[in-house]
Chain A
Amino acid sequence: MGRKILFVTTDQQRYDTLGCNGGNIARTPVVDALAASGVRYERAVPQSVVCMPSRSTMLTGQYPTTHGVWMNGVPLPVDAPSVAALLYRAGYRTALVGKPHFEPFLDPFGKFTENVLAVQGRETAENQPWFDGSTGPHRGFEHLEFSTHGGAGNLHYARWLMENHPEAIGMFYQVLDATLEVNAAGGGENGAPQVHVNEMPKEWYHTDWVAERTISWLDSLQADDDWFCWMSFPDPHHPWDPPKDEVGRINWRDVDLPAGYPTTAAERERILDAKPRHWRKWYDGELVSNYEAPKHWVPATLTPDQLREVTALNAVECELIDEALGRVMAAIAARGWGDDVDVIFTTDHGELGGDFGLMFKGPYHVDGLMRLPLIWRPAPSAGLTPSVVSRPVGLVDLAPTFCTIAGLAPAEWMQGKPLPVHDADAVARGIDKALTEWDSELFGVAVYLRTITRDGWVCTAYKPGFVHDGTEGELYNLANDPLQQVNLWEDPAYSSTRSDLVADLWDSQPEAHSPRMPLIAPV
């Protein structure tokens, strides 16, 4: 019997929303306890700041350039490399419960396996026309139960809600508007976009559903099974519509404005004007370069009270996740597995959360989106000493880490390295940088960024695109400027630093997937 793996992901969660990372709004005692007895990473970096590329990186252990999911709406091929498949072949029982998003959700043609499975109400791909037994179950997961941010659609959670609580379907915020754009409609007490009062009881909410379905699957296992379970919470990604009865946990009026929110318009504009042009253009509502932000919302209209309310609701969702995880941990302990389970907690990307006066996400490689919560609580039986790792690591490192936990050699197609267990381990293994990329092409608007995080710097180079000529960039000193408000890209005093980082950035680019896969859906 080996070590079992509980892989917990959230969606669009900021680093500073956890108590163990200095957050003081949401109470997250379960994750904090895992951090205290495990390894807490202070500079975990995604390889993409949107869902599909980032989640594909977690599964494949490859950079977006290599696995080919270069933006949301490009599906990961069903036969793409998968660490879950590797574990399955090694004898692990495998499950994915919650949000997958390796394939587009907007799928009127019913083309994508994950949507089809859900439509059919199935929890396994076996005995399906596409299942030939040669690659194991779907993406290596023998058990699949899916949910996303609301009750609409055909995913397993939506079907469960329809069958058991049909009156609740309309209680969620409508994520997309009538034209299928990300909804800009405001709600709550201050009219903030994607905020809504959800009358649903907590027990029907997707956070609890994900935890309960995870526990149900764990209950189906034999005591001596080795298992890998990816428990994937859709929150705290917008919409911010936690169950109404839970909202009172945190009074938005008591919430301080985030440190990254400049309180005057003049200050916001001054900071944004020192960044490449698309920043200010988005703030002013002149250019929405990506689908993931509400097309009809102008960030400059964000009010302090709207931001307070969003921050509070986001924190409520983080608390609900923490409590749900606590129930899963209790179930694991009740099965007698407590000493043999590794828990890895992270998210796919962050949330701007008011930084610079912005919310949501897009081609903006700063801490709000790029500094992620990452906790690895090794199985207590492994006897590792708790630590904090400050060197940059990436989500690309998760797949080889799972292999190491399972006693397997990382596959040759994996591009990351097993996570270091302390900084000296990182130094010894030459782990010193993380790469992040952004490519988007949406109706004639193209944006391309490449970023390196190394030696306390974040450096982003731009390729030519719709509003960029390829000379733009961003350079931030993370120690002196933790909010990334001073762009040193054009500062002659830092030209050698910039040159060194840019050279390393281009020298380190991963192999590109060929042929380039087509964009076939918005998300």
Chain B
Amino acid sequence: MATLRREIRIHAPASEVWKVVGRPEILHLWFPGLTNCTVDGNVRIIFLGSGMPMPEEIITNDSLQRRFQYRITVPIFKFHLATVDVIDLFDDTCLVVYSTEADPGVMALVIGGATTGALEELRKQFESGVGPALDAVGINSSVAAGGTV
């Protein structure tokens, strides 16, 4: 078992960032290396840039705690749990924490290492006010960039 944690501070309200993070079907719009994803009930299938489909089970999608958790269910993993927390810093910014726990341990890095790029992309879209994930949830640029409505 290995654990990996990546985090980033985003200059946008936690409630707005959660609108993206809490929408499992648009992960590919902010996670580089994914070409698509589909959601059916609590099953999400992500399609990797290498062409590989990867099924996941959605465990938690808690809009009160702003916590999203899922497990990758392919056999190479004896265990996998990913957790994305959006934490309000109460100054119109938030901390997004993306944690990966996996057995075999190397898989935490193979899969979880890519979360660095995902968090950077999320910040880029919110702080620039433009991006496909924002478009998908209808966030306008002034809110995304930290402005007030």
A interface vs B, CB < 8 Å? 73, 106-111, 115-116, 119, 154, 178-181, 291, 442-443, 518-522
Contacts and interface: CB of A to CB of B under 8 A. Distances in A.
A287 to B, nearest CB: 14
A111 B109 contact: no
B76 A178 contact: yes
Most buried by A among B2, B107, B113: B113
Interface of B: 2-4, 6, 32-34, 48-52, 76, 104-111, 113-114, 116-117
A76 B115 CA distance: 18
11 contacts: A108-B52, A109-B50, A110-B51, A111-B33, A111-B117, A180-B104, A180-B106, A180-B110, A443-B4, A519-B113, A521-B109
Nearest to B34: A109
B107 A111 contact: no
The A interface is mostly helix, strand or loop, or mixed, namely loop
B108 A443 contact: yes
Contacts of A521: 109-110, 113
Contacts, number: 68
Nearest to A291: B106
B137 to A, nearest CB: 23
Nearest to B49: A110
A291 B6 CA distance: 20
A520 B117 contact: yes
A519 B2 CA distance: 15
A140 to B, nearest CB: 24
Contact of A110 (B33, B107, B111, B113): B33
A443 B103 CA distance: 12
Contacts of A179: 76, 104, 106-107
Nearest to A109: B33
Given A108-B52, A111-B33, A73 B109 contact: yes
A108 B53 CA distance: 10
A180 B107 CA distance: 7
A178 B52 CA distance: 17
A238 to B, nearest CB: 18
Contacts of A519: 109, 113
Contact of A522 (B109, B114, B117): B109
B110 A108 contact: yes
Contacts of A154: 50
Contact of A108 (B3, B104, B105, B111): B111
A300 to B, nearest CB: 23
Given A106-B110, A520-B116, A521-B110, 12 more contacts: A107-B50, A109-B32, A109-B34, A109-B48, A109-B114, A110-B50, A111-B117, A119-B50, A154-B50, A179-B106, A518-B113, A522-B106
B113 A443 contact: no
Nearest to B105: A443
Contacts of A180: 76, 104, 106-107, 110
Contacts of B116: 518, 520
Nearest to B1: A443
B85 to A, nearest CB: 19
Contacts of A116: 49
Give the top 5 A-B pairs by smallest Cβ distance, nearest first: A109-B33, A110-B49, A179-B104, A520-B113, A110-B50
Given A178-B76, A443-B2, A110 B106 contact: no
A180 B76 CA distance: 9
A106 B76 CA distance: 15
B45 to A, nearest CB: 14
A106 to B, nearest CB: 5
A518 B50 contact: no
Contacts of B76: 178-180
